Structure 1
Amino acid sequence: MAPPPKDYWFHLKYWALIIPAAYVVSFIYSFGPVMGIGRKMVDYNVDTCEKISGPTDFNFCEDVVLSNVSGVAYTTCDPERHLFNKVMGHHFLEEGQKAKSSDFWRVNYVEVPASIEKFTINKEFDSTSDFHPLGITFDINPETNEQILASVNLAHYGDASIEFFTVDDESLTLTHKRTVRDAKIYNPNSIHIINDVRLRADDGTPSFFFTNDHYFTSGFLKKIENYFLYLSNVGFYNARTGKVEKGINGLLFANGITGTDEFLFVAETYAGTIKKYDIQITFVDDVPQVNLNYVKEAFFYMAVDNLRYVAEKDLVVVAGHPKGIDALIFMMVKDKVNAVKPPSQVDVWDVESGETKTLLVDNGELFTTSTTGLIDLVNSKLIVSSLFDEGLLICDL
């Protein structure tokens, strides 16, 4: 049989171009909406917003939670995250240089001017050594009324952990309660506590869900995992047994997590989705068994970050990066002072109706790299935190 003519349509030399081109088109189609490719950012609802700042180390406050006191929020700030971003694997420390450890803050955002105060952590926990918090949450024991702040700690030179502190709001003191460290908690990002007293340890430490945002802990594979490998997961720490149990596998950059004792919401950053799961708790020989069942999901035109659930309205507040590509470039630049600031966005998902809407868009000039949005219904405020900006953004609703 005679060979096909050289201009035959499926000649290998053409497929050598067609296959890569098809892959690029597929990538842009899948990630274009999340990366914000070609999207023009226009400010929306920022006229009532004010950025509150204070001491020089009150910046890069990635997560924020409401307290049980009206108008008061708690936040953690990692003021040298620009030098060492463990989640994304960007390190700019000089040889022998060590990043400063981080702190907890109490912010009364309804006072004028806002009151910004740093917590003192008791000497049982050396917060000056290698403490670099990320996701945080607040819990009140329904039996003892003990108030607890729990935080992810992405230690730079050791294993990650979840740290628990009891809160004395009047004296601005945190007392270290417990460290949870496990080989299965290797890239923790966000945590969600189960409030049920039946799932607490004898000392009151609660059980909790957590996200591992990556499977790989460093290197090239960690970077490409963001877009191509569904390897991140949700785990469950059973405080009754002291063991970590399986939650959900096969997620793409699992990030923020929120919910109640009945259901859980999980953010997949570069998929642009929030997924809802029912939590099923059963008891076998008085030991709790927890399972998650997928319910539904919602898509957002941004790289979604942290989540907060508003039970009174059945809303999930979603903060993120509407131009994900700009946020990635900004993270890779050492000189962030003179770099172009990526925009911020906060959306909400009405879970019952399935509708989503945008609450806030800022082009980056006022507030960049938004990570968490909180709705305070009592004071009609929106509180926004950031990966790489000063303080917090406070807006009227």
Structure 2
Amino acid sequence: MGRLVTLGLLGIAVALLGERLLALRNRLKASREIESIDLPNCHLIKGIEAGSEDIDILPNGLAFFSVGLQFPGLHSFAPDKPGGILMMDLNEDKPRALELRISRGFDLASFNPHGISTFIDNDDTVYLFVVNHPEFKNTIEIFKFEEEENSLLHLKTIKHELLPSTNDIIAIGPMHFYATNDHYFSDPFLKYLETYLNLHWANVVYYSPNEVKVVAEGFDSANGINISPDKKYIYVADLLAHEIHVLKKQPDMNLTQAKVLSLDTLVDNLSIEPFSGDIWAGCHPNGQKLFVYDPSNPPSSEVLRIQNILSEKPTVTTVYANNGSVLQGSSVASVYNGKLLIGTLYHRALYCEL
């Protein structure tokens, strides 16, 4: 009798395991394939060979690239090279990506940049906020951009217990920001368990010198974050839930749910077109290919444009799609004056004229 009970419990455990694995495959869109949608005037950006996970463009056309991200469990084409910040002037006829010098005293050898965000102060000072993972830990680095020297002056490193697994950031002041945690835990095994069990413990944190607090929670995997042009709404991409959350910013800086847009892809970083308010999203059509890298069947790329997200029926357009033959693992898409930049988690970057 005892043996039958044990076999019965084992059968239940195997069945539950199978259900969890199937659910994870569905969240990863593991069986999805896409048809390529090409743009006519595109070329790969020279000098970006190992990822440009995030891109932010200033109103004057200077684009910042976060390059060289390395992460446990993710493929890397340059595992022994630290990351950096590149810049490209999109007003030039043939813009080139140049690496920005970083001030002495900053630990360049362990620089591992992830999400980035710029903020322009009232005196026109440009600040660059960078999510950094030195030795796979979590910090926020704040730099001052010195345009004449093509350099970044390091101002501050921020660490906080409420920022255990930071993914992306949106700056709203010289020392103020919202940031996403894609996991509740910082330990790699607990992160995996959290994802496997689909706990929905990821969150958004508000940081200021005077107050740090969780302002939105309940996400499967909170990734990209950005703000509407009128500064009233915060947009959060929930990668494994295939959603973009529209959150209303309150006077106390808390965020309340306004709406959720469901999509058929894993949404990563979000960029906002400043005049139209359109959202451009770098997406992963098949997450399993992203995390289980096979050079013979590489991860694909997808760029979505979302118009009128606050309306009852937003317009969602696939602007670019590729099966991995040109661009693998698109994580961000950002536009400026008819030019489109597409970055990737660990591959190349694409420059297109729309």
Q: TM-score over 0.5 for the alignment?
A: yes
Contact 1:257 1:265 in 2 (8 A): yes
2:301 aligned partner: 344
Contact 1:109 1:394 in 2 (8 A): no
1:375 aligned partner: 335
Structure 1 Cα separation of the partners of residues 92 and 130 of structure 2: 26
Gaps of 5+ in 2: 1-5
Structure 1 range deviating more: 38-47 or 21-30: 21-30
Deviation at 1:14, TM superposition (A): 9.4
Gaps of 5+ in 1: 1-11, 93-97, 196-204, 282-288
Deviation at 1:103, TM superposition (A): 1.5
Contact 2:74 2:291 in 1 (8 A): no
Residue 115 (1) aligns with residue 102 (2): no
2:123 aligned partner: 144
Aligned sequence identity (%): 25
Structure 2 Cα separation of the partners of residues 291 and 360 of structure 1: 35
Contact 2:130 2:141 in 1 (8 A): yes
1:393 aligned partner: 350
**Residue type of the alignment partner of 2:130:** S
1:51 aligned partner: 44
Residue 323 (1) aligns with residue 286 (2): yes
Deviation at 1:26, TM superposition (A): 8.0
Counterparts in 2 of 1:67-216, with a 5 A limit? 67-70=58-61, 72-78=62-68, 81=69, 84-86=70-72, 89-90=73-74, 99-109=80-90, 111-128=92-109, 130-141=110-121, 143-156=122-135, 159-195=137-173, 205-216=174-185
Structure 1 Cα separation of the partners of residues 91 and 274 of structure 2: 22
Residue of 356, 366, 376 corresponding to 2:326: 366
Deviation at 1:23, TM superposition (A): 7.5
Deviation at 1:16, TM superposition (A): 7.8
Structure 1 range deviating more: 218-227 or 175-184: 218-227
Deviation at 1:40, TM superposition (A): 2.9
TM-score by length of 2: 0.87
**Residue type of the alignment partner of 2:158:** V
Greater C-alpha Rg: 1
- Secondary structure of 2:191's aligned partner: helix
Deviation at 1:24, TM superposition (A): 4.7
Deviation at 1:178, TM superposition (A): 1.6
- Secondary structure of 1:265's aligned partner: strand
Contact 1:251 1:268 in 2 (8 A): yes
2:247 aligned partner: 277
**Residue type of the alignment partner of 1:74:** F
1:201 aligned partner: none
| RMSD of Structure 2 on Structure 1 (CA) | 2.7
Structure 2 Cα separation of the partners of residues 221 and 180 of structure 1: 23
Deviation at 1:206, TM superposition (A): 3.0
Residue of 315, 336, 342 corresponding to 1:355: 315
Contact 1:276 1:295 in 2 (8 A): yes
| Change beyond 3 A, Cα 1:358–1:24 | farther
| Change beyond 3 A, Cα 1:13–1:40 | same
Deviation at 1:355, TM superposition (A): 2.7
